[in-house]
């Protein structure tokens, strides 16, 4: 196996390991936020203050929670794909086998798909967090910052201790943008590798050969007629 192919496999393994690690920055904080808020999601929710006894919000119009659900599902999907990728690439590296054209195309498509999904997840977390914090700051009579309001945050009868929401959602937002960056780099790597293979041989010719190798049908067996004695 050529040195360039080895370097490419190592780079893909490192990228997949980074994805696996960053996936936990999505799954764990959002899951902890769900537990702290008794199954509610603060993203895109709206806070109100209906009492003159406290300067802080006393009630919340909760969102449907789809933004938090999407973040957790995205993290689980990215973790699953990255673990399978690390195993498959490590086997290829150990056996000294270069990536085939089909596997390179598949990796490129998967990386591009998760780049788009990660961008959507990061944008959703960011805008949802901004909407929630703006709502809290507007509902607070002191117009305190979101981080200050989060200290000892409670909603009577709903949330006993939700003070961790600012840290949890900030970590999840940070992890989502890092995840997007890693997937984007992975897309660039696999795309450049695909272009390199295309320069060596037309991608259509290579695909036809790979297809016939994987699915060797269509070659009919010639039978000779049986002659009677």
pLDDT digits (tens, 9 = 90+) for 56-74: 677 888 899 899 999 999 9
Q: Is 219 inside a domain boundary?
A: no
Residue 222 lies in a domain: no
Q: How confident is the model at residue 77 (pLDDT cuts 50, 70, 90)?
A: very high
- Per the structure, the complete domain to which residue 18 belongs is given by 3-214
What does the alpha-carbon distance between residue 162 and residue 154 come to, in Å, rounded to a whole number? 6
Work out how many domains the chain is built from and give that number.
Answer: 1
Q: How far is CA 163 from CA 65, 108, 148, in A?
A: 19, 41, 10
Is the separation of the CB atoms in 70 and 41 below 8 Å? Answer: no
Residue 223 lies in a domain: no
* Within a domain: 89: yes
Percent over 70 (pLDDT), the chain: 81
Kindly state whether residue 220 falls inside one of the protein's structural domains. no
- Asked if residue 221 is part of any domain, the answer here is no
Q: Say if 45 falls within a structural domain.
A: yes
Q: Is residue 227 part of a domain?
A: no
pLDDT of 221:
45
pTM of the model: 0.83
The H or E element containing residue 61 is strand 59-61
């Amino acid at each position: 196996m050529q040195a360039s192919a080895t370097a490419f496999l190592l780079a893909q393994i490192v990228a997949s390991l980074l994805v696996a690690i960053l996936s936990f920055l999505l799954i764990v904080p959002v899951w902890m936020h769900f537990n702290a808020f008794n199954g509610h999601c603060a993203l895109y929710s709206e806070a109100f203050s209906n009492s003159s006894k406290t300067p802080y919000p006393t009630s919340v119009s909760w969102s449907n929670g789809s933004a938090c659900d999407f973040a957790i599902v995205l993290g689980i999907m990215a973790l699953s794909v990255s673990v399978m990728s690390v195993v498959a690439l490590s086997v290829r590296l150990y056996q000294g086998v270069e990536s085939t054209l089909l596997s390179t195309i598949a990796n490129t498509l998967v990386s591009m798909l998760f780049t788009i999904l990660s961008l959507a997840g990061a944008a959703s977390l960011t805008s949802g967090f901004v909407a929630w914090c703006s709502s809290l700051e507007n509902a607070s009579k002191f117009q305190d910052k979101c981080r200050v309001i989060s200290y000892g945050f409670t909603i009577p009868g709903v949330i006993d201790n939700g003070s961790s929401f600012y840290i949890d959602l900030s970590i999840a937002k940070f992890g989502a943008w890092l995840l997007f960056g890693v997937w984007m780099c992975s897309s660039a790597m696999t795309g450049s590798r695909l272009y390199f293979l295309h320069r060596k041989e037309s991608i259509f010719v290579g695909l036809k050969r790979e297809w016939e190798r994987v699915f060797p049908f269509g070659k009919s067996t010639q039978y000779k007629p049986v002659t009677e004695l």
